[in-house]
Amino acid sequence: MEDMGEIVGEFLMESHENLDQIDRDLVSLEQEPGSRDLISRIFRAIHTIKGTSGFLAFSRLEKLAHAGESLLSRLRDGVQPVTPDTITVLLLCIDGVRAILSSIEENGSEAEVDIETMIVKIQAQMNAPTDGAPAAAPAPAPNPAFEAEEPVSVEQEAEAVVRPAPEPVEEQRQPLGQMLVDAGAAESTDVASALQQQIEGDERKLGTILLEEGKTQPAAVNEALQSQTPKRSIADSAIRVDVELLDTLLNMVGELVLARNQLVRGVMEIGDSGLVRSAQRLGMITSELQEGIMKTRMQPIEHIWSKLPRVVRDLSNSLGKQVQLVMQGKETELDRSLLEAVKDPLTHLVRNAVDHGIEDPDKRTAAGKGTEGTLTLRAYHEGGHVAVEVADDGAGLNIERIAQKAVEKGLLRPEQVPNMDRRDIMAMVFQPGFSTAAKVTNVSGRGVGMDVVKTNIENIGGAVSVDSTPGEGTVWRLTIPLTLAIIQALTVDCADQRYVVPQVAVLELVFIDGNTTKVEYASGAPVYRLRGKLLPLVRLDRALGLEVGGDQGVYIMVLQADGRRFGLVVDRVLNTEEVVVKALNTRFKDIGLYAGATILGDGKVGLILDVSSLARRSHLAVDSERENVVDKRGSGSGSTERLLVTAVGERRVAIPLDTVTRLEEFPRDRIEHAGSREVVQYRGQILPLVRLSHLLGAYGEELEGDTVSVVVYSEGGKSVALVVDRIVDIAENSTTARRDAEEDGLVGTAVIQQRVTELLDVRRAILAADPNFYSDSMDDMLVEA
């Protein structure tokens, strides 16, 4: 009985593989109804299932498979054409076979699956009038010499299709020399001479002798050798291995990596050159073994994509849409456990794209598009991760509608929306219960799904994002780690504790010398100016509730989390090493700041930081990164004046910090014109721009780039943006060499940071650019949007 159970198990495994292949082939057949190869392949697969089910006494399964085989026989013989209705009936038959197989797996016997209804539909399709339509594949012309013979059975005909021409067995393969002579790559006399040398005791192989004597070419010998090598069948080239065995091997390799790390550290401390070489050799072998074991668990993403053509086909038909599915990079490999975790989120994104993304044919025609929409699945490797994209060419996301819904649900305040980045608004669709669907369908619209997609992907250490262009389409992007078992990581010190940061999240490292570099403040939060951009800072010691150290000589790890950059301040960065991720118990998981633990090379336990959770816990809001609010504390204290130093052309211009409301960067394409003025929409207002380079006659070429830097000045409810080339620094100045202003808006000069810097009188500069700024007439320019 145990043998019988193993046979049934093998039958179920092979049958499910066959059904997956049939699903793909039927969808392809609908696109290529004249493909005889596809019909033959589907026929052979269903015939195999029917024959084995009869042997195992699964009569209901055999009966249903036989009905499907009969319909396929008519398609193959050209008696009946391939139509969408035919494909639908065959897919229904496949679903019935799959249901019976599931019942056998669960209960050990065939359930009362309603196969009679399916068989009636199949027979009705077989009896459907063809209206003289051309056959899918023309039947071969009958041979008069065999017309009187009995008709060939379906089984016999299937065998005739399958059976290949006889091939020579391995012992009968041609000698290498004969193949080279037949191909014209060597002379028969040269081959005979080489054979004679072998008879006389030369131990070299025939091909080697010919090559070394210059009698043939390496490419010809390689081709002949490949032709000699017997080709393995698919069954012989692969074996099935229990996943639990692979998991055990992976765990053992993980322990080996830990032991390797400890051994290498100990050997380095001893310093013996012989031991060092042995440790390096052990490290190399361990890495190769680890890579090999990892490959056994890696499977192409095609395994989960294979079911999506059927999903797209059925869903588009039910919605009355025309959708073409394009798959790119299906050979990209992922760890098997991650494939399972990604399957449901990916299916949901595909269904959502067909339902919401791609428009109805009439709407596409009205928009100037083709009636058939395109859904593209794309997978590729990127920086230690696998990126999977689901892209459609539909209408795109309605950002205004998303913002309105977010405000209605209390997720955003109305005053936040005008200054939010479009990507941040689009990311609101991942909030629980969020939906903009006009009506609830059986596909989507209940607000359940996108938040689950985000949660499931983040649970495996990945991330999900969305980007959309109105009228052109939407791209959903999943970023998935290659594996969860062994990762490259940086070990860091913070308050005498050691922590591990996944290297894939680290963009760069910056060392801060407390004597020369100052940490600035935006919205009361610490920021660091990195290449002209304000980088929000998170002190790891403060975030973890440890003893807070000083700012003297610390490292900033520039990290990426949820599409946002921030700097993590630590005391020291130690080294990079491979670490084995160990799961945490429930108590640690509830804290939410740690993704796991590992044993470091010195035998100590190091906690692996969850970068995304750390960013969320530290309240890195959108405003703190994007608005760059300037902290005014300390301005005007004593005789020292705090100044914002800017570059205008080749001149340095300082602006009193107490007159600065905000620093901004605007895309150049957002700048519009109202009469002779340049303006930009800002926080529900129309904000006029004043270019200091024009006002001051600054010389030097205007900087190129996609954005412009501005200093926002507000007074009496009115605002104006002073356009500068770049923001240099915040400085303090206690002495000013005043003079009579030769230019409007300047009150004097000072030496700041070893550069002569001109001091700007903001009120006079604005009046010089626009004398009516402070008059009531400007109220028309600053109305609510």
Q: What is the per-residue DSSP string for 609-663? A: E-HHHHHHHTT--HHHHHT-PPP-TTTT-TT-EEEEEEEETTEEEEEEGGG--EE
Residue 390 has pLDDT above 90, yes or no: yes
Q: pLDDT of 85-141, one tens digit each?
A: 889 999 999 998 888 888 888 777 777 777 888 888 888 888 876 554 444 444 444
pLDDT at residue number 431: 80
Homologous superfamily (CATH) of 338-481 is Histidine kinase-like ATPase, C-terminal domain (3.30.565.10)
CATH class of 241-296: mainly alpha
pLDDT for position 158: 39
Question: What does the mean pLDDT of the chain come to?
Answer: 76
Tokens describing residue 92: 């229904």
Per-residue pLDDT band at 312 (split at 50, 70, 90):
very high
Residue 227, pLDDT score: 72
Instruction: Report the range of poorest mean pLDDT among 25-29, 402-406, 687-691, 778-782.
Output: 778-782
Query: Residue 659's pLDDT band (boundaries 50, 70, 90)?
Result: confident
What's the pLDDT score for residue 516? 43
Percentage of the chain modeled with pLDDT above 90: 4
Quick one: fold of 486-635? OB fold (Dihydrolipoamide Acetyltransferase, E2P) (2.40.50)
> For residue 496, what pLDDT band results from cuts at 50, 70 and 90?
confident
- Looking at the DSSP assignment, which residues form a beta bridge with residue 636? none
Residue 44 has pLDDT above 70, yes or no: yes
Reduced to 3 states (helix: H, G, I; strand: E, B; else coil), residue 203 is: coil
Alpha-carbon distance 388 to 9, whole Å? 33
- Under CATH, to which class is 2-167 assigned? mainly alpha
The reported pLDDT for the residue numbered 162 is: 40
Phi/psi region, residue 78 (left: phi>0; alpha: psi -120 to 50; beta: rest), is left
| pLDDT at residue 484, rounded to an integer | 64
Of residues 555 and 532, more confidence is placed in 555
577 versus 159: which is more confidently predicted? Answer: 577
- Reported pTM: 0.52
Beta strands (DSSP E) in 275-321 are: 298-300
Q: Which of 49-53, 358-362, 668-672 has the highest mean pLDDT?
A: 358-362
Least confident of 9-13, 173-177, 206-210, 606-610: 173-177
pLDDT for 521: 67
The pLDDT of 539-560, averaged and rounded, is 79
Q: Tokens for 45? A: 């697969």
Residue 379 pLDDT more than 60? yes
**pLDDT tens per residue, range 750-784:** 777 777 788 888 877 777 777 766 654 344 433 33
Under CATH, which number does the domain 642-784 receive? Answer: 2.40.50.180
* Residue the block writes with tokens 């980088």: 535
Shared fold status for 241-296 and 642-784 = no
* Bigger pLDDT: 220 vs 365: 365
Q: Domain ranges for the chain, please list them.
A: 2-167, 241-296, 338-481, 486-635, 642-784
| pLDDT band (50, 70, 90) for residue 510 | confident
Contact status, residue 133 vs residue 81, Cβ threshold 8 Å: yes
Q: What is the pLDDT of residue 2?
A: 45
> Cα separation of 86 and 128, whole Å?
10
